Structure 1
Amino acid sequence: MSSLPASREPGRYRVELVCLGNICRSPMAHVVLEQRLADAGLADLVEVTSSGTGDWHVGNPMDRRAAATLTAAGYDATRHRARQWAGPDDADLYLAMDADNLANIGGPGGRIRMFRDLDPLHPGDDVPDPYYGGDDGFEEVLAMVELTATALVEALRRERPWDTTEP
Structure 2
Amino acid sequence: MRVLFVCLGNICRSPMAEAVLRMKINKAHVADKIVVDSAGTGDWHIGDPPHQGTQQQLAASGISFEQIKARQIKQKDFKEFDRIIAMDRQNEKDLLKMAGKSYQNKVSRFMSLLHDQPQKDVPDPYYTGRFDEVYDLINRGTDQLLQDLLKQIK
Q: What TM-score do the two structures reach when normalised by structure 2?
A: 0.89
Question: Who is 2:55 aligned against?
Answer: 67
Structure 1, unmatched stretches of 5+, are 1-12
For 1:3, the equivalent position in structure 2 comes to none
SS of aligned partner of 1:105: helix
**1:117 and 2:139 are equivalent in the alignment:** no
Could you give the per-residue CA deviations for residues 38-90 of structure 1, whole angstroms, max 9, x where no partner exists?
A: 11121110110100000000000010111011101111122210000113121
Q: Count residues in correspondence.
A: 147
Matched, 1:25 2:25: no
Tell me what 2:93 maps to.
Answer: 103
Number of the residue aligned with 2:37:
49
Question: Given that residues 15 and 46 in structure 1 are in contact (C-alpha distance below 8 angstroms), is that contact kept between their aligned partners in structure 2?
Answer: yes
Indicate the SS of the match to 2:6: strand
Contact 1:115/1:124 (8 A) holds in 2:
no
Secondary structure in 2 aligned to 1:113?
Answer: strand
1:120·1:151 contact (CA, 8 Å) conserved in 2?
A: no
Matched letter for residue 89 of structure 2? A
Rounded to whole Å, the distance in 1 between the matches of 2:12 and 2:79 is 23
Would the aligned equivalents of 1:53 and 1:101 in 2 still touch at CA under 8 Å? yes
1:84-163 to 2 correspondence within 5 Å? 84-87=72-75, 88-106=78-96, 109-122=104-117, 125-134=120-129, 137-160=130-153
Which deviates more, 101-110 or 34-43?
Answer: 101-110
- Residue 154 of structure 1 aligns to which amino acid in structure 2? Q
Q: Which has the higher contact order (CA 8 A, sep 6+)?
A: 1
Show structure 2 runs of 5+ residues with no match: none
Deviations 1:84-129 (A, max 9, x none): 0113121011000000000011169410101121124227721110
Q: 1:15 maps to what in 2? A: 3
TM-score, structure 1 as length reference: 0.83
The aligned residue for residue 70 of structure 2 is 82
Identify if the C-alpha distance between structure 1 residues 142 and 78 changes in structure 2 by more than 3 Å, giving closer, same or farther: same
Structure 1 runs (4+) deviating above 6 angstroms are: none
Helix, strand or coil at the partner of 1:132: helix
